[in-house]
């Protein structure tokens, strides 16, 4: 998201898209993006367990995967900027899709993400980024 917003703000010439031939709906990699507020909320939800000397490892994500093109198109809509992009060779070892399994955090901590809409995630990031 920061790289897309740098391109929207003119701090980068374009967004490089690493490959468009993955076995995904649009050929670009799929990732699970989590809003920083949801990340903070998960940490706060873990505090009571730490008070009891209980620790754990939790995957955190919104549970939805978004492709690079979906992120780019949402950013174009939110920023109202025609963000330039270029498909380049994919990086060796990059998986086609990575989506977090956050069920443990939901079951044990009672945590669930509030920001699951890609446009809302980008909108809040864009509003913050423009204020810098």
Contacts of residue 129, defined as CB under 8 A and 6 or more positions apart, other chains included, come to 2, 5, 9
pLDDT digits (tens, 9 = 90+) for 85-126: 999 999 999 999 999 999 999 999 999 999 999 999 999 999
Predicted pLDDT of residue 23 = 97
Residue 98 near residue 31 (C-beta atoms within 8 A): yes
Calculate what percentage of the chain has a pLDDT beyond 90: 91
Mean pLDDT of 81-86: 98
Averaged pLDDT of the chain: 95
3-state secondary structure of 27: coil
Beta-bridge mates of residue 21: none
* Residue 60 CB neighbour total at 10 angstroms: 20
Class of domain 2-130: alpha beta
Residue 32 near residue 68 (C-beta atoms within 8 A): no
pLDDT band at 35; cut points 50, 70, 90: very high
**Statement: residue 54 has pLDDT above 90:** no
Mean pLDDT of 35-57: 92
> What is the domain partition of the chain in residue ranges?
2-130
Predicted pLDDT of residue 49 = 86
Predicted pLDDT of residue 117 = 94
Residue 123: how many CA atoms within 13 Å on its side-chain side? 8
Predicted pLDDT of residue 113 = 96
Residue showing tokens 């699970």: 32
Q: Which stretches of 20-125 are assigned E, i.e. beta strand?
A: 30-31, 66-67, 85-88, 97-98
């Amino acid at each position: 998201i920061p790289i897309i917003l740098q391109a929207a703000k003119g701090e980068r010439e374009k967004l490089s898209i690493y490959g468009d031939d993955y076995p995904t709906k649009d050929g670009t990699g799929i990732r699970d993006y989590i809003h920083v507020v949801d990340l903070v909320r998960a940490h706060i939800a873990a505090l009571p367990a730490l008070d009891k000397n209980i620790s754990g490892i939790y995957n955190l994500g919104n549970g939805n995967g978004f492709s690079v093109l979906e992120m780019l198109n949402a950013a174009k809509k939110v920023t109202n900027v025609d963000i330039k992009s270029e498909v380049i060779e994919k990086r060796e070892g990059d998986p086609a899709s990575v989506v977090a399994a956050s069920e443990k955090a939901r079951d044990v901590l009672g945590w669930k993400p509030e920001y699951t809409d890609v446009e809302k995630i980008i909108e809040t990031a864009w509003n913050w980024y423009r204020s810098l």
